[in-house]
Structure 1
Amino acid sequence: MDLQPLIQTMPAQAFWFGALSAASLPLGAALGILWKRPSARAISAIMAFGAGSLLAALALELVAPALERGGYTPLAIGAVAGGCSFFCWIGPSTSTAASGASGPPSSATWSAPSAHG
């Protein structure tokens, strides 16, 4: 029996791509259950991978339509302006944290003011 035409149909491809993407949830849950105390380096690597994946997905989804609608110059200006504003916003907090100086409050050391004054 030849399965090649069955695998190449659009519904079959949608099923297999959906199954592949859905497999990440139980695999991640199993990893979280089995791996009791991951090192700080492992956690950092996993978070960096996730952040990079989200940035790549965002870039792939937004760059092509922006290029079609506005052209290269507005896209480049927006990318540079966004990068500079992000650097100015996040840069001081990471450099002060590394040097031990006081910087903006982090979620670990700052709590919101109470409603009762």
Structure 2
Amino acid sequence: MKNSLLNITFNTTDALGLAQWWASAFDGRIVDENDGWFVFVSLGEGRPGLAFQKVDAPAGGNRLHLDFGVDDMAAAVAGLVSAGATVVGERSMPGFTWTTLADPEGNEFCVAEHG
């Protein structure tokens, strides 16, 4: 049996709203809304989907972590911040730099330049 990643799922009190934010921020598109209780976002062919599951109250803190590769980190971070993300911190280690951000509900993710 072949295993493959289908979706990365967020628990959220506003599944449709958060799905719209992620779709807009990363040039994705909502492909299924399910009346706002389980919303799917496609980020393009060959990429895992993002899913947003409506819950009364998310349990605990950030339950997942996403890393995105971009061509221009400064421009990507600026665009994400202007869309409603917040910068959590700038990080680096020898030969690699990235920025940790949070979406409008506080879910953290990282952005780094390809290569």
**If the TM-score is normalised by the length of the shorter chain, which range does it land in?**
under 0.3
Larger-gyration structure (1/2): 1
Q: Which has the higher strand share?
A: 2
**Normalised by the size of structure 1, how large is the TM-score?**
0.19
- Which has the higher relative contact order, 1 or 2, with Cα contacts under 8 A spaced 6 or more apart? 2
**Normalised by the size of structure 2, how large is the TM-score?**
0.19
